[in-house]
Amino acid sequence: MTDTGPAPLYRTLWRWHFYAGLFVIPFVLILSATGAAYLFKPQIDRWEERAWRGQPTEGAVDADAQVVAALAAFPGASFYFYRIPAARGDAAVVHVGLRGGGERDVAVSPQGRVIGSADPEARWTAWLARLHGSLLIGQSGKLFVELAASWAIVMILSGLYLWWPRGRGLAGVVWPRLSLGGRTALRDLHAVTGFWVSGLALVLLFTALPWTEVWASGFRAVRSEMGWVAGVQDWKGGAEQRPAHGHAMMAAMPMEPGPRVPLEHILIRARGEHMPAPAIIQAPGAPNMFGPPNGDVWTLTTQTQNRPLVRKVSYDAQTGTEVARSGFAGKHPVDKVVEYGIAWHEGQLFGLANQLIGVATALALFTLAISGFLMWRRRKPADSFGAPPVPRDPARLKGLAAIILLLAALLPMLAASLILLWVVDRLILPRLPRTARWLGVARA
């Protein structure tokens, strides 16, 4: 790559792109692979539950008997919710809280026989979600992922500037000149792939922010301060909400005495609502992922990842009459945007096409990471880190400084890392001249 633009700005953005790229490469590889796999969560979950489908339907019992069978299989367990079979012959899934802690999905055949069970946190998709969101190292992993996402935004924006044609033809700009081979083909593959995937990658990165820790906590505070809240935030993200994968439960609240409307009665009403699968009926007093426990009501809702389709209908536990109804239409516009973004990010906004676009984005990001690493290895001298040269006239970069400050204001983890880098650059590296020269940050 040659310095074809205004030298100070071009060189500076090249350096930002270089350092940001090397930092995020391992994260891009992990998050692209796990994210692409998690896009197919519905298919993976159905595959894991393949033995629970296609059961005979003769001699079927009602939903209440199925719940009794599930609780009998796990003495002392509490009934949390009933997952409505998606098709005739599918087992019902009764989600219970175990007496010693934890939860269980219990599969009960139409005849009321327990045919299997699973720990929700041991599912393949639960493991993928933890690896994708926290690198399997808990809270510190979430912060690393958020930091990497922030720097990936810098990497993409700086890469777009470096890609800008500046009077060149379409070859090497819109399509790669692979026939030239060597460095040129590798450079074109990297630059052209980055151009085509940049928009989708930025959408993925920005739609991931509501799940983060620091950014999401600030976003929640802004939503509250600006009055952008209509109901309970029903996505996980931020320091105040800790459910790891949607199964962390609070203790159930005490129930009022008196007769209960049978679950079977609620199930009959639920079928008329045509709730998208997987539809569930939460028991009175059952814990919720978000907000307070379910009150003295049966609540019909759905666990679909296509969040604009999510709605809730609550029925009085004593009479069975409908007492509340809510859905996507009643949310604040800001929350609607977030919900659309999350559904897109998870590949569920418009079915298989959304999933395939997500896979293509992940493959392009994977290509960027590998090609960027190979470009660095090819140009790296044996005695230095191989960073692009320091610009000769940093005084001409006030506009860039304003852009960086704006990004830092929007991305708190980026701001924190920039402060740390400033401390290292100004206070530590001057005392380590050999290290500074190796990193390419020594000043003349």
Rounded average pLDDT per 10-residue block, the chain, 444 residues = 58 90 96 98 97 96 97 97 96 96 97 97 97 96 96 95 84 88 92 96 96 92 83 68 40 50 96 96 86 85 96 95 94 93 96 97 97 93 85 68 86 94 89 87 62
The answer to whether the beta carbons of residues 400 and 350 sit under 8 Å apart is: no
Regarding whether 319 and 365 lie in a shared domain, the answer is: no
In-domain check, residue 206: yes
In-domain check, residue 115: no
Regarding whether 360 and 321 lie in a shared domain, the answer is: no
Closest to 366 in 3D by CA, of 188, 208, 193: 193
pLDDT at 226: 86
- Alpha carbons 421 and 414: distance in angstroms, whole number: 10
Three-state secondary-structure class, residue 232: coil
Regarding whether 204 and 152 lie in a shared domain, the answer is: yes
- Alpha carbons 246 and 150: distance in angstroms, whole number: 25
In-domain check, residue 118: no
Regarding whether 153 and 76 lie in a shared domain, the answer is: no
Whether residue 75 is preceded by a cis peptide bond, meaning omega within 30 degrees of 0, is no
pLDDT at 291: 67
In-domain check, residue 238: no
What type of residue is 37? A
Regarding whether 136 and 12 lie in a shared domain, the answer is: yes
Q: Name the CA radius of gyration of the chain, rounded.
A: 26
- Alpha carbons 28 and 34: distance in angstroms, whole number: 10
What type of residue is 222? V
Regarding whether 418 and 295 lie in a shared domain, the answer is: no
In-domain check, residue 345: no
Q: Which two tokens stand for residue 16?
A: 């930002």
Three-state secondary-structure class, residue 95: strand
Q: List Cβ neighbours of 83 (8 Å cut-off, separation of 6 or more).
A: 92, 93, 94, 95, 105, 278, 279, 280, 303
pLDDT at 249: 40
Regarding whether 192 and 323 lie in a shared domain, the answer is: no
DSSP structure class, residue 75: T
Regarding whether 139 and 204 lie in a shared domain, the answer is: yes
Report CA torsion sign: 161, 12, 200, 175.
Answer: positive
pLDDT at 393: 65
Regarding whether 429 and 359 lie in a shared domain, the answer is: yes
Phi then psi for residue 298, to 5 deg, are: -90, 135
Three-state secondary-structure class, residue 157: helix
- Alpha carbons 234 and 205: distance in angstroms, whole number: 20
List, edge to edge, every strand of the sheet that includes 297-302.
Answer: 114-118, 103-108, 92-97, 78-83, 279-282, 297-302, 311-316, 322-327
Number of structural domains in the chain: 2
The answer to whether the beta carbons of residues 66 and 94 sit under 8 Å apart is: yes
Question: What is the model's pTM?
Answer: 0.89
Q: Which domain holds residue 256?
A: 56-110+248-330
pLDDT at 439: 84
Regarding whether 153 and 26 lie in a shared domain, the answer is: yes
Three-state secondary-structure class, residue 56: coil
pLDDT at 247: 39
- Alpha carbons 282 and 294: distance in angstroms, whole number: 7
In-domain check, residue 359: yes
In-domain check, residue 374: yes
In-domain check, residue 219: no
The answer to whether the beta carbons of residues 117 and 84 sit under 8 Å apart is: no
- Alpha carbons 27 and 365: distance in angstroms, whole number: 11
- Alpha carbons 439 and 30: distance in angstroms, whole number: 26
Regarding whether 427 and 355 lie in a shared domain, the answer is: yes
Regarding whether 132 and 106 lie in a shared domain, the answer is: no
pLDDT at 259: 64
